[in-house]
Amino acid sequence: MFTRPTRILLPALAAGALAAGIAAPAAADEHDARFLLRTANGGGPADLNFTYGAVDDTAVVGDFNGDGTQTVGVRRGDRYFIRNSNTGGPADLDFHFGRPDDTPVIGDFNGDGTQTVGVRRGDRYFIRNSNTGGPADLDFHFGRPDDTPVIGDFNGDGTQTVGVRRGDRYFIRNSNTGGPADLDFHFGRPDDTPVVGDFNGDGVDTVGVRRDRTFHLRFTNAGGPADLTFTYGRADDITLVGDWNGSGTTTVGVHRVPQPEPEPEPEPQARTESQWPDVPGTPPADDPVWVALARCESNNNWQAVSANGMYYGGLQFHPTTWRTVGGSGLPNQASRAEQIHRAQLLLTQPWATWGNQWPACSRRLGLS
Ligand SMILES: [Ca+2]
Ligand SMILES: [Ca+2]
Ligand SMILES: [Ca+2]
Ligand SMILES: [Ca+2]
């Protein structure tokens, strides 16, 4: 019977590629990537709370030194930065493995008690049995390219092996080789985030899922209801599980990265301007001539209606002229930007001049 406590390792399933940038200067706390780890499977405050790595890093979890406690690390580009304690501080291990777009996986793939790194690329696993750079020790295909990788000791023999999640289904292999699934069952829903661990400390890793803030954990590798359900962390946290204190039971945690600032709403005016672009060959909308003309024609009142009811808006369009240059409705019901745009269009008509469209005011302003 294996007494080695650790088991799973489902790396953070951060969607998307990893920024290959270099490192994270220590900044204000809320701008840092934070680990909030719980040493019991239930809701409650974090038992461990520290910052490590950069915001764009992908979190990984493993017993990288074989002491029975799982700790955090990050993958950045093609590089692993591993910490051997669940505290902030410098990386204890730092090496390259795989390619930047690979998905990291961590496990004790040879059953020696130390978890090491690997990657999934397409439908393929590349496994390294030491936490150092170098060629893959194992390289095989399992599942399909779109599957999500999971790693665990699903049969309790002391060696962690691969599996995948596809939709609401787990396909598990009990050896680190290509071949058919040894276990195949449904659990949770397709959009859930998969987790694998020894959630009851009996030496066998089993599956679970996280849905929004709620973990649904199963104590056997078979379909059926969750054996343990509780809420931890925020819905936008990245899901982690690990044996953070070497107790022999896998518990939950989250990786919390600052959310990007929302894109500012475009200002309505900017939108108006793009909707009513300047017409080449005429004064642009911000040319003072338009204000001067409007001041003369309508006392700069863009909703104006002339006393005889024939001319409308800041530039005193006749409705027929307005329609000639594509306007609809009455000019004084249109925005200032549209009125200027249509005045610009008017000036591009071969028959139109400042002098015949705005005779009195254009003379006063020296436009004709
Ligand atoms: Ca360790
Ligand atoms: Ca190992
Ligand atoms: Ca096994
Ligand atoms: Ca178990």
Do residues 8 and 197 make contact, with C-beta atoms less than 8 angstroms apart?
yes
Write down which residue in 256, 286, 318 finishes a domain: 256
- Residues that place a CB less than 5 A from ion ligand 4: 198, 200, 202, 204
Are 240 and 284 part of one and the same domain? no
Cα-to-centroid distance, 300 and ligand 4 (Å)? 78
Determine phi and psi for 240, rounding to 5 degrees. Answer: -135, 155
Cα-to-centroid distance, 159 and ligand 2 (Å)? 8
Cα-to-centroid distance, 112 and ligand 2 (Å)? 5
pLDDT the model gives residue 267: 60
Cα-to-centroid distance, 32 and ligand 4 (Å)? 33
The answer as to whether 147 is a domain residue is yes
Are 304 and 188 part of one and the same domain? no
The answer as to whether 157 is a domain residue is yes
Are 287 and 252 part of one and the same domain? no
Percent of the chain with pLDDT over 70: 89
Are 328 and 349 part of one and the same domain? yes
The two most distant CA atoms of the chain are separated, in Å, by: 102
Cα-to-centroid distance, 182 and ligand 3 (Å)? 11
The answer as to whether 261 is a domain residue is no
Cα-to-centroid distance, 6 and ligand 2 (Å)? 11
CB count within 10 Å of CB 111 equals 16
Q: Which residue has the higher pLDDT, 180 or 292?
A: 180
Are 161 and 135 part of one and the same domain? yes
User: Residue 113 region, left (φ>0) first, then alpha (ψ -120 to 50), else beta?
Assistant: left
The answer as to whether 57 is a domain residue is yes
9: nearest Cα among 121, 96, 127:
127
Are 173 and 314 part of one and the same domain? no
Which ligand has its closest atom nearest to the C-alpha of 112? 2
pTM: 0.66
Are 177 and 103 part of one and the same domain? yes
Are 163 and 68 part of one and the same domain? yes
Cα-to-centroid distance, 108 and ligand 2 (Å)? 4
pLDDT at 269 over 50: yes
Which ligand has its closest atom nearest to the C-alpha of 151? 3
As given in the structure block, the two tokens for residue 198 are 């020894």
Write down which residue in 194, 226, 256 finishes a domain: 256
Overall average pLDDT of the 337-358 stretch = 93
Are 154 and 301 part of one and the same domain? no
pLDDT at 39 over 50: yes
Overall average pLDDT of the 198-217 stretch = 98
As given in the structure block, the two tokens for residue 154 are 């699903």
12-16, 72-76, 349-353, 358-362: the lowest-pLDDT one: 12-16
Give the per-residue SS3 of the chain: CCCCCCCCCCCCCCCCCCCCCCCCCCCCHHHCCEEEECCCCCCCCCCEEEECCCCCCEEEEECCCCCCCCEEEEEECCEEEECCCCCCCCCCEEEECCCCCCEEEEECCCCCCCCEEEEEECCEEEECCCCCCCCCCEEEECCCCCCEEEEECCCCCCCCEEEEEECCEEEECCCCCCCCCCEEEECCCCCCEEEEECCCCCCCCEEEEEECCEEEECCCCCCCCCCEEEECCCCCCEEEEECCCCCCCCEEEEEECCCCCCCCCCCHHHHHHHHCCCCCCCCCCCCHHHHHHHHHHHCCCCCCECCCCCCECCCCECHHHHHHCCCCCCHHHCCHHHHHHHHHHHHCCCCCCHHHHCHHHHHHCCCC
The answer as to whether 49 is a domain residue is yes
Whether the CA torsion 8, 13, 17, 18 is positive or negative: it is: negative
Write down which residue in 256, 290, 311 finishes a domain: 256
The answer as to whether 263 is a domain residue is no
Which ligand has its closest atom nearest to the C-alpha of 152? 3
The answer as to whether 2 is a domain residue is no
Taking all residues of the chain, what is their mean pLDDT, rounded to a whole number? 90
pLDDT at 14 over 70: no
pLDDT at 270 over 60: no
Are 314 and 183 part of one and the same domain? no
pLDDT at 57 over 50: yes
Do residues 363 and 355 make contact, with C-beta atoms less than 8 angstroms apart?
yes
Do residues 319 and 312 make contact, with C-beta atoms less than 8 angstroms apart?
yes
Cα-to-centroid distance, 203 and ligand 4 (Å)? 5
The answer as to whether 356 is a domain residue is yes
Give pLDDT tens digits for 156-196: 999 999 999 999 999 999 999 999 999 999 999 999 999 99
Overall average pLDDT of the 44-48 stretch = 97
Cα-to-centroid distance, 129 and ligand 2 (Å)? 6
Q: Tally the domains of the chain.
A: 2
Cα-to-centroid distance, 320 and ligand 3 (Å)? 84
Give pLDDT tens digits for 227-254: 999 999 999 999 999 999 999 999 999 9
pLDDT the model gives residue 1: 37
Which ligand has its closest atom nearest to the C-alpha of 250? 4
| Contacting residues for 99 by C-beta, under 8 A, at least 6 apart | 78, 119, 121
Do residues 70 and 205 make contact, with C-beta atoms less than 8 angstroms apart?
no
Domain that holds residue 321: 268-364
pLDDT the model gives residue 198: 98
Are 58 and 174 part of one and the same domain? yes
Q: Which residue has the higher pLDDT, 206 or 15?
A: 206
Query: Which CATH number goes with the domain that contains 281?
Result: 1.10.530.10
| Contacting residues for 30 by C-beta, under 8 A, at least 6 apart | 258
Res. 258 pLDDT band, cuts 50 70 90: confident
Are 247 and 286 part of one and the same domain? no
